[in-house]
Structure 1
């Protein structure tokens, strides 16, 4: 096991390609890995498991590979659509690398389900997850995340695409108060050391099958989650949770591009009714270098950041240009509470990943549009449409995937995975090709 207390990252620019090393000589998870989770080995050194079928289960399936035990690198010898048939894949065994970049074109897309990570040391890259409403009746209880961590730690989700969830598209969650009476115990039982980087998080379904009704949600970071980095993602057409940080969270949100948020953009909320008799914890947020542009579904008085509920917040905010569709500047901060929370404005970040260098906001839109999402070298029709809507200021929040063409229909493709063509430590091709 790596002793992460002794690891120190060398300084690395966001998105840089060189593979820095750690103090003990351990490489980063992959070139450009960022955040407190950057040192995770994932499945490095483990056995290679080949996905050879698009079937939902059985020998050679993705489900079997992700549910397997022991350190493992999951690669693909098949491309196309995997129908999860409304059964999420639950990953309970640690030390996993899911290498979607190894799939032949058009890559791998999961529909009618998602992935739940309930373990540690996991890397997920270059897959698309598009659960959809699947014809379920409104408020019928078909509530599905794209990808969520539940009590997980040392997880990186990088360059993936998420859309059409009926709960959150991409989240870090877990129990609020497990492990004892002290916050230090709670924080070792919920998600921690999580990086969400360079993903497309789009079109959470609004009035679909969630039992609460409206539920177009981007990202939820649950109460007491810590050492969370959200960087370089594109959020588009999500009504709320672009991103939502719950009570006591310690997180950094940097260099994200947010387009057409509906009723909430950035959001912090500690709700007293959810905390009961537990003492409230002060949240710590650093929000730096993000770019927000309103769109057709954005409410006219939407502020960039809303602080809601009863909890206090230590807040570092810097260089976050935010405009409505017509160019009018968004109000920076709005408060919704029956007990005015104490918001302590800080001049520096209260916590920061070692070696992380943020980009100025002037560079963010071009960088995110070029880098975000699964397989940016060969995006699918959904991601291409989303990016075009961001460029042109069009599109809207939707209720059903059928409003924008429905589930993808692509043929199955095949290509052998040849180990000699790949650097197995970083899962990059030796010839420099993207896949």
Structure 2
């Protein structure tokens, strides 16, 4: 395994492309090849629909890889883009700098055999009043299966930032329930941050990281960063099965990882024991974290089988926090397991003390070509700064304004099986620390007065 550099500045030195980082941190084979071997569809406009649009590309039928000959922001105008057609690879890494950022919307994935890489989704309140009903996820699977979501940045969701959802009880048996909701989903190297708290969601406070809905199975969180979400990093619902390896949870509010099979939702259905395997994860308290917050909290009525190893939980001053707690005086039991409940074969698992430095280099979209808000969030994690927010304007001017850029996609320059550039250099690749600098900062770095 490649030795990773140390230090706060080195954390964002994207001198090695993501493919190299992935090679260094081995993982099992993905559950799908997406659209590999199919046709190439080029996105040539930032319009939300119509000829050459991203929407047109994902709605096309048959195996396909979506590449981008345009960079900038796609404004969905407070709509959610639904992806239903299977056998799809979305390669955001092919876009010219600054990459592809989706604003004022989110993505619901209802298909299967899909790979999504290097997109930014910044949902935002967009000025909608409190309780008004604008409640989009930044990203969610909806009864999807065999999916990989890697190196994406999900910010400012009104519901969850990054979830796996679907019906609870579609079928006549537990096996059918699980087959008919989301399953075999990998979330890897993503940034899920700043879910909006008291905003336009009809339930009121709703700053959430990830929801794994009831009976979703084989859901993997590997090397993701959760930052500044009140709850759900992740919330695992009744009967779901989740593997968490080397994730970083920073500044959770009231709950970090939690499990809850709610009787109110399972009435007249037999309870199913959930499963969580958590190895080498870090939870670090921040400005909004409740005192004494546990790494894992158990609620509801259903039992949870749990295997945990080398999970680190500390407050914002580095003092240890408990590994386990509960909410609700109910019959739910924690059932400790002596061995992992999901396979760890093929993973290079970092010790928890090395997780933060490693993840801050690689998590999120286009780590070689960071967006300003990604830089802000990651630097704040490293510096122990940042807060849970209610509106995107609390951390800057709001949605990013990006100049449209264009560059032709040359298939001969890319390995089309892995969607990595043959010369090792990604579009817009930068060397050195990617810092968000003011004009005064720039002048001081250059030694100007």
TM over 0.5: yes
Q: Structure 1 residue 150 and structure 2 residue 142: aligned? A: yes
Q: Secondary structure at the match of 2:124?
A: coil
Match of 1:292 in 2: 283
Match of 2:62 in 1: 70
Match of 2:445 in 1: none
Which one is further off, 354-363 or 111-120? 354-363
Which one is further off, 199-208 or 336-345? 336-345
Match of 1:209 in 2: 200
Distance 1:319 1:19, change over 3 A: closer
Q: How does 1:192-231 map to 2 (within 5 A)?
A: 192-231=183-222
Q: Secondary structure at the match of 1:390?
A: helix
Match of 2:234 in 1: 243
Q: Is the 8 A contact 1:265 1:304 kept in 2?
A: yes
Match of 1:315 in 2: 306
Cα separation, 2, equivalents of 1:328 and 1:33 = 31
Which one is further off, 287-296 or 353-362? 353-362
Give 1:33 shift.
7.8
Q: How does 1:30-429 map to 2 (within 5 A)?
A: 34=27, 38-180=30-172, 182-352=173-343, 354-405=345-396, 406-429=398-421
Distance 1:34 1:174, change over 3 A: farther
Give 1:353 shift.
5.1
Q: Is the 8 A contact 1:152 1:190 kept in 2?
A: yes
Q: Secondary structure at the match of 2:318?
A: coil
Q: TM-score, normalised by structure 2?
A: 0.89
Cα separation, 1, equivalents of 2:230 and 2:26 = 29
Which one is further off, 203-212 or 348-357? 348-357
Q: Secondary structure at the match of 1:190?
A: coil
The answer for unaligned runs of 5 or more in structure 2 is 1-17, 428-449
Cα separation, 2, equivalents of 1:112 and 1:186 = 33
Q: Is the 8 A contact 1:34 1:195 kept in 2?
A: no
Q: Which runs of 4+ in 1 moved over 6 A?
A: none
Distance 1:357 1:348, change over 3 A: farther
Cα separation, 2, equivalents of 1:337 and 1:395 = 30
Q: Is the 8 A contact 1:117 1:150 kept in 2?
A: yes
Cα separation, 2, equivalents of 1:320 and 1:308 = 20
Cα separation, 2, equivalents of 1:168 and 1:132 = 12
Give 1:16 shift.
8.2
Q: Is the 8 A contact 2:21 2:362 kept in 1?
A: no
Q: Secondary structure at the match of 2:380?
A: helix
Q: Secondary structure at the match of 2:105?
A: coil
Cα separation, 1, equivalents of 2:27 and 2:318 = 32
Cα separation, 2, equivalents of 1:319 and 1:16 = 27
Give 1:303 shift.
1.2
Q: Is the 8 A contact 2:31 2:147 kept in 1?
A: no
Cα separation, 2, equivalents of 1:316 and 1:150 = 27
The answer for unaligned runs of 5 or more in structure 1 is 1-14, 21-30
Residue correspondences, number: 409
Cα separation, 1, equivalents of 2:19 and 2:331 = 42
Cα separation, 1, equivalents of 2:198 and 2:22 = 44
Give 1:339 shift.
2.1
Distance 1:150 1:367, change over 3 A: same
Q: Secondary structure at the match of 2:56?
A: helix
Cα separation, 2, equivalents of 1:207 and 1:18 = 37
Match of 1:5 in 2: none
Cα separation, 2, equivalents of 1:287 and 1:353 = 10
Q: CA RMSD in A?
A: 1.6
